[in-house]
Amino acid sequence: MRPETKTDVNVNAHTKAEARLPVEEAGWQFDNSYVRLPEPFYVRIAPVPVRAPCLAILNHALAKSMGLNFDTLSDENVAQLFSGNVLPQTADPIAQAYAGHQFGGFTMLGDGRAILIGEHLTQAGSRLDVQLKGSGQTPFSRRGDGRAALGPMLREYIISEAMHALGIPSTRSLAVVTTGETVLRETPLPGAVLTRVAASHIRVGTFEYAARLNDGAYVKTLADYTIQRHYPDLFETANPYLALLRRVIDRQASLVAQWLLVGFIHGVMNTDNMAISGETIDYGPCAFMDEYDPYTVFSSIDYQGRYGYHNQSRAAQWNLARFAETLLPLLDPVQEKALVLAEETVHAFPGIFQQYWLTGMRRKLGLLTEEAEDVELIEALLMCLHEHHADYTNTFRMLTADPLPDDTLFQDSAFAAWHAQWQARLARQPESKAAAYRLMRASNPAILPRNHCVEAALTAASERGDYKEFRRLLGAVADPYIDKPEYREFCTPPSAAERVQQTFCGT
């Protein structure tokens, strides 16, 4: 099942990327553990050099947290580094193999336009994958060009950084470099390379790939590696592999609940885009909802709404069932017992997810205690929002205002009845209303990267080389829970003409 290394990829074109930068110049500390796995899990291959790399943006805060310092390097040298034209001395570039159920259909996949240059060890002891996305063809590219366009790479940069600022587990973006080359999609577009930082790139799809290698030892090897890398405490349990399944289910239940609480819609929740670490990965056709509608779908390739807002938790459980299937031989030597363990564990997901979601919604409404009727109170508000096409983000933020703003929703008799019920609920808490409102302001973002603002910033950068709006939006979402008058335009819902109906993956 391993791809042949002899492909139509221009191998000679990769040799230039073997040029190296002294590791001391930036502080890289690579220790590449993934290459100690059996060879079917990866292919060693260098990035394909680009013609004229130019630094578009560098995440100085992330670099500092990683113990990296690029102050001694010129922008030109930094661009050479993050384009893949030159590599740190201890880099060991590979393309990872994995599989995935994409919109329900199984496919053998792999890094078709990404190169993992290594695992960087931070001074705090964290191990972080450093990956170049858009770095050229690999043996997994199939018919793809292995490149990326500037707009989608900037989209991933700004939304992944916004997610981090919101406190939601996410891969991060370290840099975007333009390539001086054109990529052909529907139209010619400027090319770019994104540097993505992740706890790892081990996916549900990686386990699916291992399970298809027709050797049970591969799944065990991958599971042991995953536990050692992410959850070493599980080795102390009676059944580490069952504990791994439970831990991943818990992480994903928490993650998806956090997405829904801020109105985020992933767009392509395929099994190859579900990270075992519990981080949000792959910011293709994703978006944040403006007006509340549980049936919202943005992805241009999600024709049936499989990954729409209302389906995200169900899609996550479906993916986790595929993960459980790969672990069956490890859960118990008796197949019937393994199936029972897997089913019981996966069937627990809805209850775990519901508890995370309910806890988060209580915080959004300033509820510091628990009452049985809270679910009804929450659902009644969401119904009001849906009926009035109310802005999801702004409504929760405005609930702390006294008096309430002159808004159509707030003039509705059904909302007035709900508001009275909510105020009575707050009054039954031992904590003050002021304490409840403080909790709400800390739980409801004031600023998100709204679709129309993102598209405007990306258009200016891609079509005119103007990054002012992009940097301004990036600055706004860096402190999402703080009201800042200078960023007020980013809090305004889109007009009918500005509304973004679809988002695109960029491949």
* pLDDT 10s digits, 296-339: 998 888 888 899 999 999 999 999 999 999 999 999 999 999 99
Query: Per-residue pLDDT for 6 more than 90?
Result: no
Predicted pLDDT at 21: 57
| Same domain, residue pair 141 and 284 | no
Beta-strand pair 87-88/20-21: parallel
Residue-number span of the structural domain to which 136 is assigned: 11-201
Asked if residue 82 belongs to a domain, the reply is yes
| Same domain, residue pair 398 and 378 | yes
Instruction: Give the tens place of pLDDT for each residue, 248-294.
Output: 999 999 999 999 999 999 999 999 999 999 999 999 899 999 999 99
Average pLDDT (117-123) is 96
CA dihedral 118, 121, 126, 129 (to 10 degrees): -10
Query: Per-residue pLDDT for 10 more than 70?
Result: no
Asked if residue 189 belongs to a domain, the reply is yes
| Same domain, residue pair 188 and 146 | yes
The domain boundary, picked from 328, 357, 386, lies at: 357
Asked if residue 450 belongs to a domain, the reply is yes
Predicted pLDDT at 373: 96
Q: Which helix (H) or strand (E) holds 349?
A: helix 349-364
Q: Letter for the amino acid at 465?
A: G
| Same domain, residue pair 102 and 128 | yes
Other CB atoms within 10 Å distance of the CB of residue 247: 19
| Same domain, residue pair 296 and 316 | yes
Structural domain tally of the chain?
Answer: 3
220, 330 Cβ separation under 8 angstroms: yes
Chain mean pLDDT for the chain: 93
Instruction: Give the tens place of pLDDT for each residue, 126-138.
Output: 999 999 999 999 9
Asked if residue 382 belongs to a domain, the reply is yes
Any catalytic annotation for residue 407? no
| Same domain, residue pair 343 and 451 | no
Beta-strand pair 172-184/54-58: antiparallel
Nearest in space to 95 (alpha carbons), one of 213, 2, 184: 2
Peptide bond before 294: cis, by omega within 30 degrees of 0?
no
The domain boundary, picked from 330, 357, 384, lies at: 357
Percent of the chain with pLDDT over 70: 95
| Same domain, residue pair 227 and 314 | yes
| Same domain, residue pair 23 and 146 | yes
Predicted pLDDT at 13: 39
| Same domain, residue pair 403 and 498 | yes
**Entry pTM:** 0.94
Query: Per-residue pLDDT for 18 more than 70?
Result: no
Other CB atoms within 10 Å distance of the CB of residue 64: 11
Predicted pLDDT at 439: 98
Q: Which of 111, 272, 302, 391 is catalytic?
A: 272
> Whole-angstrom Cα distance, residue 164 to residue 152?
18
| Same domain, residue pair 407 and 341 | no
Predicted pLDDT at 19: 58
Asked if residue 4 belongs to a domain, the reply is no
Which tokens go with 20? 């190296």
Query: Per-residue pLDDT for 163 more than 50?
Result: yes
Predicted pLDDT at 482: 95
Asked if residue 363 belongs to a domain, the reply is no
| Same domain, residue pair 242 and 258 | yes
Query: Per-residue pLDDT for 25 more than 90?
Result: no
Average pLDDT (209-218) is 90
Contacting residues for 232 by C-beta, under 8 A, at least 6 apart: none
Asked if residue 329 belongs to a domain, the reply is yes
Asked if residue 480 belongs to a domain, the reply is yes
| Same domain, residue pair 194 and 216 | no
The domain boundary, picked from 201, 226, 241, lies at: 201
Full DSSP string of 250-269: HHHHHHHHHHHHTTEE-S--
Instruction: Give the tens place of pLDDT for each residue, 224-254.
Output: 999 999 999 999 999 999 999 999 999 999 9
Instruction: Give the tens place of pLDDT for each residue, 402-432.
Output: 899 999 999 999 999 999 999 999 999 999 9
Intra-chain end-to-end CA distance of the chain, in Å: 24
Contacting residues for 349 by C-beta, under 8 A, at least 6 apart: 249, 252, 253, 313, 316, 317, 320
